[in-house]
Amino acid sequence: MNAKTLRALAPLVAVAVALLVPLVVSDRFILKVFTFAGINALVVVGLALLFGYAGQVSLGHAAFMGLGAYTSAFCTVELEWPWLLGFVAAGAVAAFGGLILAIPALRLKGYYLAMATLGFGLLMSLAFTEARPITGGVDGFTGIPFPSLGPLEIRSAASLYWLVWGAVGIAVLVAHNITSLRPGRAMRALHGSELGAQACGVDIVGVKVRTFVVSALMAGLAGALYAGVVGFVSPSVFTLTASITFIAMTIVGGTSSLAGPILAAVALTLVQYVDALIPGLPRETAQTIQSYQEDIYGLAIVLVVIFAPRGLAGLWKRRNAGGETP
C-alpha cells in the first residue's frame, strides 16, 4: 500500500476504531480511562493548533479547562441550566479567557510567552481555590449532573465515551479545516518567520488572537465534558502539572500535525492507568510507573526534542518523504 492510499484510509480507520472501543471493551473502568484520554485529546487538539502550528507556547492550558469545568458546573447546578447551554457557556468563558491571554502573546515570544502563560495558569489555579462561593474552594464542586442532550441523559460509560469522542471528532474536523486552508498556512508562516509573514501581508495580530481563542475554547469544552463525566470538580485537577502534561503530549505528538498529538495524548493518558490496562502487571511495577509518571513525561519531551524535534508526526512524515523522492 502506498503512502497516499494509507493517508486517505488512516482517518477512516481511526474513526472506526474509536467508535468500536465500547463494543469490545466491557470493563467500565477501562472505558472511563479511554473517555479521559478523549478529554485530554480535545485539549491537545487545541494546543496542537496553538503550539504545533502557530508556534505559540502555553503553559497554562489547564486553566482554560478549569474555566470550562467550573462554568459548566455552576450553570448546571446553581443556575439549573440545561447541560447543553452550560456546555456552550463553558466554551464561551474559556474563549474569553483565551482572548485575555492573547494580549500578552502579541508582545511576548518564546520563553517570555511561556512565563506569562505559566503565570496565568498559576493565577487561575489560585482563583479556583479562593473563589469559594462559586467554585467550592479546595473541597471542590460536587453533585454535577450527567451531560444531557434535551431529554436524553448520557450516563452509561459507553455513551459518555461516545459523547467525548464525538466532541473530539468535531474538534478535529474544525481543526483540520483550519490547518488545511489559508488560516493554517498563516499559522505555520507565523511559526516559520514572523518577518516573512508580515512581508506577505499576514495579519499577525489576528492570527495569534484567533488561535488563542479557538485553542482555549477547545480546552474549555473539554473541561465541561470532564465535569459531566466525573460529576465532581476540584482545583487539584487544573494545576501546572496538568498544563505541562498537555504541552508534553503536544510536543511528543509533533508539530504541524493533529494525528500525532492525539495519539500522544491517548498514549500518555494510558500511562497513568497502566495497572488497569495490563491485568497481569505486578502491583509494584504499576506503582513505580505511576510514581515516576511526570518523569516519564519529562523524559519523553527531552528525547523527542533531541532525536525528533518535530515529534512523532515529523518521524512519520520524514519516513514517507524518503520513500517518495526519486
> Which residues sit at the interface with another protein, rule CB under 8 A?
174, 177-178, 181-183, 185-186, 188-189, 191-193, 195-204, 206, 210, 255-256, 310
Q: What type of residue is 65?
A: M
Q: Is 232 helix (H, G, I), strand (E, B) or coil?
A: coil
Minimum distance from residue 166 beta carbon to another protein (Å): 18
Nearer to another protein, 182 or 283 (CB): 182
- Read off φ and ψ for residue 53, nearest 5 degrees: -100, -55
> Could you tell me where the DSSP H helices lie in the chain?
3-24, 28-47, 61-73, 83-107, 110-130, 132-135, 157-180, 182-192, 194-199, 204-230, 240-253, 259-272, 274-277, 283-291, 293-307, 311-324
Q: What type of residue is 290?
A: Q
Minimum distance from residue 221 beta carbon to another protein (Å): 15
Rounded distance, CA 22 to CA 109, Å? 43
Minimum distance from residue 187 beta carbon to another protein (Å): 10
Question: Measured between alpha carbons, how far is residue 307 from residues 47, 300, 302, 311 in Å?
Answer: 22, 10, 9, 9
Which residue, 70, 121, 67, 76, is CA-closest to 94? 67
Q: What type of residue is 94?
A: A
Nearer to another protein, 107 or 182 (CB): 182
Rounded distance, CA 99 to CA 64, Å? 11
Cβ count within 10 A of residue 290: 14
Minimum distance from residue 48 beta carbon to another protein (Å): 14
Minimum distance from residue 172 beta carbon to another protein (Å): 13
Cβ count within 10 A of residue 299: 12
Nearer to another protein, 4 or 132 (CB): 4
Nearer to another protein, 47 or 189 (CB): 189
Nearer to another protein, 76 or 256 (CB): 256
Q: Is 149 helix (H, G, I), strand (E, B) or coil?
A: strand
Rounded distance, CA 228 to CA 245, Å? 21
Nearer to another protein, 6 or 199 (CB): 199
Nearer to another protein, 45 or 62 (CB): 45
Write out 68-126 in H/E/C secondary structure. HHHHHHHHHHHCCCCHHHHHHHHHHHHHHHHHHHHHHHHHCCHHHHHHHHHHHHHHHHH
Nearer to another protein, 135 or 211 (CB): 211
Minimum distance from residue 182 beta carbon to another protein (Å): 6
Minimum distance from residue 258 beta carbon to another protein (Å): 14
Minimum distance from residue 49 beta carbon to another protein (Å): 11
Nearer to another protein, 206 or 282 (CB): 206
Minimum distance from residue 100 beta carbon to another protein (Å): 19
